[in-house]
Amino acid sequence: DSGVTQTPKHLITATGQRVTLRCSPRSGDLSVYWYQQSLDQGLQFLIQYYNGEERAKGNILERFSAQQFPDLHSELNLSSLELGDSALYFCASSSGGDYGYTFGSGTRLTVV
Amino acid sequence: AQSVAQPEDQVNVAEGNPLTVKCTYSVSGNPYLFWYVQYPNRGLQFLLKYITGDNLVKGSYGFEAEFNKSQTSFHLKKPSALVSDSALYFCAVRDPYGNNRLAFGKGNQVVVIP
């Protein structure tokens, strides 16, 4: 157990639908990062939050949004889903400094 | 922007032979470099990091990495590969101008042949 919890582990949904992925960071970590991993695109950075505030945006589609709550957990919302959104979505947390990231085990999203 | 490159898609090595996974970096300033490993259907796990100090960094599971400033490389190595080392390996660099987020390479699939 890495200390970063992601739910659900698997999600199957239809095109056009909306889903919410949840992440609880490791205790004490203020930063949360979301990544999308697909076979053809590798590991793509989506968005970063620090203590409730958005800090950086990467290759995140307008159909996707995220937030970090006062208890530091984060949610990634994906709407108007397309087949190409099928991927593994990872959350990672960090305390800053030079400690790198701790990753969750991911949510596998399948859009049918 | 800071970036890393992993030039090989797949590395095949026989069990018991030395394993090397290559990574080169491009940074402004001092590099903070990381290696992560991903086993099937799992998240990325931290292996080792270079921040400062000795150029040879030792990490988890018998892995080590050599920082080479003149060649801007940070290759991951293991003296004797195991079948259980078969996984996807990612090199990453910290971007101090990008809110310290990590920029990952595309990953290298390592296949250790029994």
A56 with B36: Cβ contact below 8 A: no
The pLDDT value recorded for residue B9 is 85
Is residue A4 scored above 90 in pLDDT?
yes
Tokens of A37: 């991993």
Given CB atoms, is A50 within the 8 Å cutoff of chain B?
A: yes
Low-confidence ranges of chain B (pLDDT < 70): 98-99
Tell me which residue in A31, A43, A98 faces B32 most closely, judged by beta carbons: A98
Task: Name every chain B residue with its beta carbon within 8 A of the beta carbon of A55.
Answer: 99
The whole-chain average pLDDT of chain A stands at 92
**Which residue is it, tokens 């491009």?**
B26
CA-based nearest residue to A55, from B96, B93, B2, B99: B99
Structure tokens at A22: 């949840």
Q: Is the peptide bond before A8 cis (omega within 30 degrees of 0)?
A: yes
CA distance A32 to A73: 8
pLDDT band at residue A99 under the 50/70/90 scheme: low
User: Residue B98: what pLDDT?
Assistant: 67
Phi-psi region of B97 (alpha: psi -120 to 50; beta: other; left: phi over 0): alpha
A50/B107 Cβ within 8 A: no
- Structure tokens belonging to residue B22: 């290559």
Residue B53 makes CB contacts below 8 A (sequence gap 6+) with none
Euclidean distance between CA atoms A81 and A63, whole angstroms: 8
Name the DSSP letter for residue B60: G
Can you give the pLDDT at residue A37? Answer: 92
> What is the structure's pLDDT at B24?
96
Q: What pLDDT is recorded for position B95?
A: 79
B97 phi and psi, to 5 degrees? -95, 0
pLDDT attached to residue A97? 65
SS3 of chain A: helix, strand, coil, percent, to 5: 5, 55, 45
Asked if residue A31 has pLDDT above 90, the reply is yes
DSSP B107: -
Paired strand residues for A37 = A43, A88
Q: With beta carbons less than 8 A apart as the criterion, state whether A66 and A46 touch.
A: yes
Q: Which residues on chain B are in Cβ contact (under 8 Å) with A2? A: 43, 45
What pairing do the DSSP bridges indicate for beta strands A19-24 and B87-95?
unpaired
What would the pLDDT profile of A70-79 be if each residue is shown by its tens digit? Answer: 999 999 999 9
Per CB distance under 8 Å, which residues of B are interface residues toward A?
Answer: 32, 34, 36, 41-46, 49, 51, 90, 92, 94, 98-104, 106-107
Give residues 69 to 108 of A whose Cβ lies within 8 Å of B: 90, 92, 94, 96, 98, 100-106, 108
Give the lowest-confidence range in A9-23, A85-99, B54-68: A85-99
Alpha helix (H) residue ranges in chain A: none
